């Protein structure tokens, strides 16, 4: 989208950055790592040099699509992880759910020409772990609130911020259907958000009845 809006003169300078980067921790100066991706390796290294610091370590990648998708799609999985926590299903169920989520993310990524290895790195697994585990995550917070019987509007109003996983879920399900792909987590999170599916029922279907 940025490339579409920018003058063609500047398109070659676009980089994408993603990783397990919870903003409040970074603002406090706590150590974190990220990955910056560009089709131009020299450009990625230039940005790496500009952003590297003792507390913020930057890696480079040439997989722009994979880094973009990892940063966006993990928000869908985090919504469900919040539901698992809100339902009190425990760490075993949450780990099983997250593993299924990583597989689902990587599957879509491969279909869109991303490198599957990217989803095992910072922009994939790393970001997924941070977002699904931390209560600093807005998507996790929304999922947890929904599982505890609060409305989406109520939870989002209490946070005072946009939860990007909501629109990402709708866009991703549309894309998956266009590609003829099955994405069971995305489909059920969509049904919870937009069709009134009970979070407990959604998780029961995804986890094979665990915790029910």
Using alpha carbons, list the distances in angstroms from residue 190 to 37, 168, 170, 184. 29, 10, 6, 10
Average pLDDT for the chain = 95
Question: Which run of H or of E encompasses 17?
Answer: strand 16-18
Q: Which of 61, 77, 109 is the last residue of a domain?
A: 61
Residues 73, 22, single domain; the answer is no
Where do runs of H (alpha helix) occur along the chain?
2-5, 23-27, 41-51, 64-86, 90-111, 127-133, 138-147, 152-159, 164-179, 184-195, 199-207
Residues 29, 78, single domain; the answer is no
| Residues labelled catalytic | 74
Residues 89, 193, single domain; the answer is yes
pLDDT per residue as tens digits for the range 135-156 = 889 999 999 999 999 999 999 9
Residues 106, 173, single domain; the answer is yes
Residues 86, 37, single domain; the answer is no
Residues 77, 176, single domain; the answer is yes
Supply the CATH number for residue 122's domain: 1.10.1040.10
If you average pLDDT over residues 154-180, what whole number do you get?
94
Residues 35, 96, single domain; the answer is no
The pLDDT value recorded for residue 135 is 82
Residues 85, 34, single domain; the answer is no
> Does a structural domain hold residue 116?
yes
Whether the predicted pLDDT of 212 surpasses 60: no
Using alpha carbons, list the distances in angstroms from residue 20 to 83, 103, 142. 20, 18, 19
Task: Tell me if the pTM is above 0.85.
Answer: yes
Q: Which residues contact 40 (CB under 8 A, 6 or more apart)?
A: 12
Q: Which of 38, 61, 84 is the last residue of a domain?
A: 61
Residues 46, 151, single domain; the answer is no
How far is 96 from 101, CA to CA, in rounded Å? 9
How many domains, the chain? 2
**Domain ranges, residue 83:** 65-207
pLDDT per residue as tens digits for the range 35-88 = 999 999 999 999 999 999 999 999 999 999 999 999 999 999 999 999 999 999
Confidence of residue 162 (pLDDT cuts 50, 70, 90): confident
If you average pLDDT over residues 165-187, what whole number do you get?
97
Residues 179, 89, single domain; the answer is yes
If you average pLDDT over residues 97-103, what whole number do you get?
97
Confidence of residue 161 (pLDDT cuts 50, 70, 90): confident
How far is 71 from 191, CA to CA, in rounded Å? 22
DSSP bridge partners of 176: none
């Amino acid at each position: 989208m940025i490339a579409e809006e920018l003058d063609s003169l500047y398109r070659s300078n676009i980089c994408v950055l993603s990783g397990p980067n919870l903003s409040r921790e970074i603002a406090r100066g706590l150590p974190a790592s990220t990955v910056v991706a560009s089709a131009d390796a020299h450009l990625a290294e230039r940005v790496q040099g500009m952003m590297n610091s003792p507390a913020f370590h930057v890696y480079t990648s040439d997989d722009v699509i994979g880094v973009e998708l990892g940063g966006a799609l993990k928000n869908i999985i985090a919504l469900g992880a919040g539901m698992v926590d809100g339902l009190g299903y425990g760490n075993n169920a949450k780990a099983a759910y997250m593993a299924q989520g990583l597989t689902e993310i990587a599957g879509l990524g491969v279909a869109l020409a991303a490198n599957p290895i990217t989803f095992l790195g910072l922009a994939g697994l790393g970001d997924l772990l941070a977002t699904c585990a931390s209560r600093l995550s807005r998507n996790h917070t929304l999922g947890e609130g929904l599982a505890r019987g609060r409305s989406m509007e109520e939870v989002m109003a209490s946070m005072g911020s946009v939860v990007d996983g909501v629109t990402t879920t709708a866009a991703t399900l549309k894309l998956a259907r266009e590609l003829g792909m099955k994405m069971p987590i995305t489909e059920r999170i969509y049904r919870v958000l937009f069709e009134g599916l009970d979070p407990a029922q959604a998780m029961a279907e995804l986890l094979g009845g665990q915790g029910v």
